Amino acid sequence: MATNAAAEKLRFDAPGPAFYELDPVHFPRPLTRYWTEVHPAAFASGTADFARYYGMLIGGLAMSYVNGFGYKNVLPPPEEEIPQRFARADEIFEGKLWREQLKEWDETAKPTAIATHRELQAVDPDALSDDALKAYLRRCRDHHAAMIEQHMRFTASAVVPTGDFVAHVSDWTDVPLPELLGLMRGASPVSAGASAQLERLVAALRGDPDAQALLASTDDPHRVLTELRAFDGETGAAVTDYLDLVGNRPLDGFDISEPTALELPDALLRAIRTAVAGDAEANDVEQRIADVRAKVPEEHRDTFDELLGEARLMYRLRDERGVYSDIWASGIMRRAALGAGRRLASAGRINEPQHVLDAGLEEMCGLLDGAASPSADELGSRAAYRAAHSAKDAPATLGTPEPPPPDPSGLPPGIARLMRATGTALGALFGSSEAEHEEHLLRGLAASPGIYEGTARLISGAAEFERIVQGDVLVTISTTEAFNILLPLLGAIVTDSGGLLSHSAIVAREYGIPGVVGTRQGTELIADGARVRVDGTAGEVTVLP
């Protein structure tokens, strides 16, 4: 029986003597050469910074790339700094020093970053001479590196207060982690994709019937966006303002290989339509906070309030530090590189503009200078390699596992508390960091487009068919022709297994209802009778609160 011949040829050697762990959550696919050259130094520098700032017992984190896959390892702290780290950890909690970082973020780091992003994205790469383009590419790269470092620098502040809160409340109650994280809701508009610009856009569109009509049309999405930008007055201004803010952001991921919002006008328009149409999400977070607080023993409730306050204060930094730093910068770098790519492709130097994304930065500049390597085919095959592989092709770890970290209870209180907070945060938040504000979100294969909200009905077989009522969402392991009889009643289909060519996918498409198949755990994670939103275009199922 054949296996993937390409994967068999890959050798995965540990890059050094340490213990390395694959990070499939942030990097589900191999990274571009550009990324593997730019990321490691910036990442190491930024993480060393937060480790020192917080007095952590690590030197920082390092990222290495093996066959394009990202592997992380922990660096040991410089021994001579350990005493001051112990002291520093105490200071952190006494002085709530994360607030200093938030202040620095709001007053300096974020506005400066945004100003540079806007300045860089105002440049039209196509209008530059070759020399000017090279200089521009290098500026964008330097900015991207600085932004990666910035992102990492603020990481601890983004997670330690939340981890601290969760660690304490877990001692006092048995409220599960996702519920505790849910208490942060409302604290971070940017996590929900919101921003002042989006609010302005929604207000403008809601007040402009012509714009709404255009928004609702099925015309070419690229044209719709261009026309909306050109509207007179507040509408056009609000659209432009919003697109300037989000347009150069990759919709998913961090690498320059990921398409940005403006490149996917369909997805962008959908997001705008949802925002304009959407009702404000019922915010019962106050009630839920009260519910959890009631479970906390009375003597700890003041501390509960204090810790929750800090966690909610800092929560927005989790997303902002990415969105306003390296995520934006990556989109700008991509845009610049594609400018070079178009130029190189029309000169016949590379086969397709996007192949330039597989060149390192100096290689890009070299190509503009007429260098012979890398060849067009070499770049093409690098691109094909990335498309053909995923984290599943890479081993989860490399090197010898290290002994477990010291038992925090034997350490001075400041460090112990810090380690617990960080451990809780990195263990739970990092592992599900993508999923945190996506708790109750399931992913599967986008089998049939459309969005539908309704009541989930868990059906194990024909014996339960009569439980389905008009408008239900069928949730089951898989379907067969026997299920066809239910179709006129269903609003959407969700299955655990199955592919895009399976029965459930085919009938969902034929019947024109949203379908998400292959969720793996739909029947475990969706409760019978729960309200769900099925997005068959994105391949997501959300259990609504």
Partner 1 sequence: MAGAPVEALRRVPLFADLDSDELHQVALLFKKRHFVQGETVMREGTDGAAFFLIEAGEASVSVAGSARANLHAGDHFGEIALIDEGVRSATITAVSELDCYGLTYWEFRPLLLANGAIGLKLLQSLAQKLRSAEAS
Partner 2 sequence: MSGVLPLAEVADTSVFGSKAVGLGEAVRAGLPVPDGFALSGQTVEQVAAGDEATVSAVIGTVRPLGGPLAVRSSAADEDGADASFAGQHLTLLNVPTVDALPPALAEIWWSANSDSAISYRKRVGLFTRPSVAVVVQRLLDPETAGVMFTRNPVTGADERMIEASLGLGEAVVAGLVIPDSYRLDREGNALERRPGLKRIAIRRKEGGGTFEEEVPAAAAEQHCLGDDDLAALSGLARRCEEVYGPGRDIEWAIADGTLYLLQCRAVTR
- Of partner 1, partner 2, none, which one sits near residue 482, judging by CB under 5 to 8 A according to partner kind? partner 2
Residue with structure tokens 């459930």?
Answer: 504
Distance between CA atoms of 490 and 486, rounded to whole angstroms? 7
Instruction: Identify the CA nearest to 99 among candidates 151, 166, 138, 157.
Output: 157
Q: Which of partner 1, partner 2, none lies near 497, with the C-beta cut-off 5 to 8 A by kind?
A: partner 2
Residue 170 burial (C-beta neighbours within 10 Å; 0-12, 13-18, 19+): middle
Q: Which is nearer to partner 1, 248 or 476 (CB)?
A: 476
From partner 2, partner 1, none, interface partner of 481 (C-beta below 5 to 8 A by class): partner 2
Query: Is position 481 an interface residue for partner 1 (rule: CB under 8 A)?
Result: no
Pairing assessment for the beta strands 490-495 and 472-476 based on DSSP bridges: parallel
Q: Hunting for tokens 């001051």 — which residue is that?
A: 84
327 in Cβ contact with 35 (< 8 Å)? no
Could you tell me the CA-to-CA distances from 289 to 181, 312, 318, 324 in Å, in that order? Answer: 11, 12, 20, 29
Chain residues 379-438 in contact with partner 2, contact rule CB under 8 A = 384, 387-390, 392
Amino acid (1-letter code) at residue 93? F
Kindly indicate which of the ranges 102-110, 278-286, 339-347, 442-450 contains the residues binding partner 2, using the contact rule CB under 8 A: 442-450
Binding partner of 299, given partner 1, partner 2, none, CB within 5-8 angstroms per partner class = none
Q: Which is nearer to partner 2, 85 or 389 (CB)?
A: 389
**Residue from the set 180, 333, 361, 447 that interacts with partner 2 by CB under 8 A:** 447
**Buried-exposed string 152-166: b where 16+ CB fall within 10 A, e elsewhere:** bbbbbbbbbbbbbbb
DSSP conformation class of 501? T
CB nearer partner 2, residue 431 or residue 512 = 512
Query: How far apart are CB 440 and partner 2 at their closest, in Å?
Result: 21
Shortest reach from residue 464's CB to partner 1, in Å: 11
Question: Which position has the token pair 């007055």?
Answer: 233
Shortest Å distance, C-beta 351 to partner 2: 13
Q: What, of partner 2, partner 1, none, does residue 466 touch, CB below 5 to 8 Å by kind? A: partner 1
Q: 198: which 2 tokens?
A: 């989006």
| Cβ-Cβ contacts under 8 Å for 233 (sequence gap 6 or more) | none
In the complex, minimum distance from the CB of residue 300 to partner 1, in angstroms, rounded to a whole number: 50
Residue 518 found at the interface with partner 2 (CB under 8 A): yes
DSSP characters for 190-217?
Answer: GGGT--HHHHHHHHHHHT-HHHHHHHHS
475: phi then psi, degrees, rounded to nearest 5: -125, 120
Considering only 3, 466, 470, 481, the residue that binds partner 1 (CB under 8 A) is 466
With the C-alpha atoms ordered 339, 129, 361, 248, is the resulting torsion angle positive or negative?
A: negative
Tell me which residues in 13-52 interact with partner 1 (CB under 8 A).
none
Query: What is the per-residue binding string for partner 2 in 494-513, x denoting contact by CB under 8 A?
Result: -x-xxxxxxxxxxx-xxx--
Q: Where are the alpha helices (DSSP H) in 369-480?
A: 376-388, 413-424, 431
Applying CB under 8 A, does 462 fall inside the site for partner 1?
yes
Taking the C-alpha atoms of residue 257 and residue 389, their distance in angstroms, rounded to an integer, is: 14
Which of 410, 463, 470, 501 binds partner 1 (CB under 8 A)? It is 463
Contact window for partner 1 (CB under 8 A) among 56-64, 73-81, 375-383, 460-468: 460-468
* Residue 390 site contact among partner 1, partner 2, none (CB < 5 to 8 Å, cut-off depends on kind): partner 2
Shortest Å distance, C-beta 488 to partner 1: 14
Which of 124-132, 297-305, 461-469, 498-506 is the region at the interface with partner 1 (rule: CB under 8 A)?
461-469
Residue 488 found at the interface with partner 2 (CB under 8 A) = yes
**Residue 70 three-state SS:** strand
SS3 state at 125: helix
Task: Output 87 or 489, the one with its CB closest to partner 2.
Answer: 489
- 544 interacts with, out of partner 2, partner 1, none, CB within 5 to 8 A per kind: none
**Is the CB of residue 188 less than 8 Å from the CB of residue 315?**
yes
Amino acid in the structure at residue 81: E
Which lies closer to partner 2 via its Cβ, residue 386 or residue 420? Answer: 386
Smallest gap from residue 22 Cβ to partner 1 (A): 47
Question: Under the criterion CB under 8 A, does residue 463 sit at the interface with partner 2?
Answer: no
C-beta of 263 vs 326, nearer to partner 2: 263
Which CB, 294 or 485, lies closer to partner 2? 485
Q: How many residues bind partner 2 (CB under 8 A)?
A: 45
Upper half-sphere CA count for residue 431 (Cβ side, 13 Å):
10
Q: What is the spatial distance between Cα 447 and Cα 466, in angstroms, rounded to a whole number?
A: 25
3-state SS string over 303-316? HHHHHHHHHHHHCC
Residues in contact with partner 1, counted by CB under 8 A, come to a total of: 3
Closest approach of Cβ 466 to partner 2, in Å?
A: 12
For partner 2, the closer of residues 303 and 397 by Cβ is 397
Q: Residue with structure tokens 């487009």?
A: 449
Segment lying near partner 2 (by CB under 8 A), choices 290-298, 342-350, 357-365, 493-501:
493-501
Q: What does the alpha-carbon distance between residue 30 and residue 23 come to, in Å, rounded to a whole number? A: 11
Helices (H), 217-264: 221-229, 233-246
**57 or 508: whose CB is closer to partner 2?**
508
Q: Measure the N-to-C terminal CA separation of the chain; round to a whole number of Å.
A: 47
Residues in contact with partner 2 by the rule CB under 8 A: 1-7, 384, 387-390, 392, 445-449, 462, 478-482, 484-485, 488, 495, 497-507, 509-511, 517-518, 520
Residues in contact with partner 1 by the rule CB under 8 A: 462-463, 466
